[in-house]
Structure 1
Amino acid sequence: MRTPYDIIIRPVLTEKAVKDNEKNNTLTFEVAMDANKIEIRKAVEEIFGVKVEEVRTMIIKPKPKRFGFRFSGFKKAWKKAIVKVKSEKPINIAELV
Structure 2
Amino acid sequence: MNRERLMQVLLSPIISEKANIAAEVSARYAFRVVPDADKREIGRAVELMFDVKVDRVQVLNMKGKRKRFRQRMGKRPGWRKAYVRLQPGHEIDFGGGA
TM-score (norm 1): 0.86
2:52 and 2:90 in contact (8 A); partners too: no
Determine the C-alpha separation between the residues in 1 that align with 2:8 and 2:67. Answer: 27
Aligned counterparts, 1:5-84, within 5 A: 5-68=7-70, 70-84=71-85
Q: Is the 8 A contact 2:53 2:90 kept in 1?
A: no
Q: Which runs of 4+ in 1 moved over 3 A?
A: none
Q: TM-score, normalised by structure 2?
A: 0.86
Contact 1:13 1:94 in 2 (8 A): no
SS state of the match for residue 95, structure 2? helix
Tell me the residue number matched to 1:92.
93
Percent identity, aligned pairs only? 33
Q: 1:72 & 1:57 partners in 2: Cα distance?
A: 29
Structure 2 unaligned runs (5+)?
A: none
Q: Distance in 2 between matches of 1:4 and 1:47?
A: 9
Q: 1:71 to 1:94 in 2, by over 3 A?
A: farther
Question: How many angstroms does 1:18 deviate by?
Answer: 0.7
Post-superposition Cα deviations, 1:24-50, rounded to whole Å, max 9, x if no partner, equal 101100001000000001100000000
Distance 1:89 1:42, change over 3 A: closer
Q: CA deviation at 1:62?
A: 1.1
State how many pairs are aligned. Answer: 95
CA RMSD of aligned residues (A): 1.8
Are the aligned partners of 1:22 and 1:90 in contact in 2 as well (CA < 8 Å)? no
